Amino acid sequence: MASFFSSLASSRKNLFIIIFALIAIIVGGVLIFFQVNNLRELNSQIEEEELALEQAQALLARRIGYREKAPEYREFIRQFRVLIPEQPEEDSIFRYFGHLAVEYDLRLVNLNFGERAPNPDQNYISMPLAITMEGNYSSLIRFLNHLYGGQRAIRVDDVSISPTGGTPANISISITAYAFYSPQ
């Protein structure tokens, strides 16, 4: 009987060792599973951080490029302020059109400013112009070409031509246009 109890004690000992080994394997497997999941999360976070770093580096590179081009941008702003000044400068518009009329052999008959309507969505105010001139067709073409690349931003919306009572080469010209200014 002693051998039966010793074999029973020995088999119990083996059973405990087997159960303990199984528990250790299961606990080890669970810990490995959690560690693998943590590692995946960390890798995912590393990828997100690397992507954010690349985006930040690209933004920094663009901003450094902007800083390097600052003198060029300042020159563009200066040119735009000439084209679209901060004040309406109606007198300067009268002189500008008078000068262009003489330069392109036209006669400025009338120049009227219309009602200004500020648009809150835009950073400038449009000044409607009604211009009446007399001259010939080739002078008108040269005049309009000059307005396209001139000293002041002028948008021509409509040009109407009609013969005058004088020589056939003379025409009456009505122009609907807009000049602009941008109060700061």
Mean pLDDT value of segment 44-51: 92
Assigned domain for 34 exists: yes
Q: What is the mean pLDDT of the chain?
A: 85
For 114-157, write each residue's pLDDT tens digit.
888 777 777 888 899 999 999 988 899 999 999 888 888 899 99
Assigned domain for 159 exists: yes
Classified as helix, coil or strand, 158 is strand
d(CA 123, CA 29): 67
Q: Which helix (H) or strand (E) holds 44?
A: helix 2-68
Q: In which band, very low, low, confident or very high, does the pLDDT at 66 lie, cut at 50, 70 and 90?
A: confident
Residue 166 pLDDT greater than 70, yes or no: no
Q: Residue 106: which of 72, 146, 68, 79 has the closest Cα? A: 146
Same domain? For 95 and 158 the reply is yes
Domain boundary among 41, 68, 95: 68
- Enumerate long-range contacts of 25-28, CB under 8 Å, 24 or more apart: none
Containing domain of residue 45, as a range?
A: 1-68
Q: Which helix (H) or strand (E) holds 70?
A: helix 70-83
Beta carbons within 8 Å of 103's beta carbon, 6+ residues apart: 146
147: domain CATH number is: 3.30.70.60
Domain count for the chain: 2
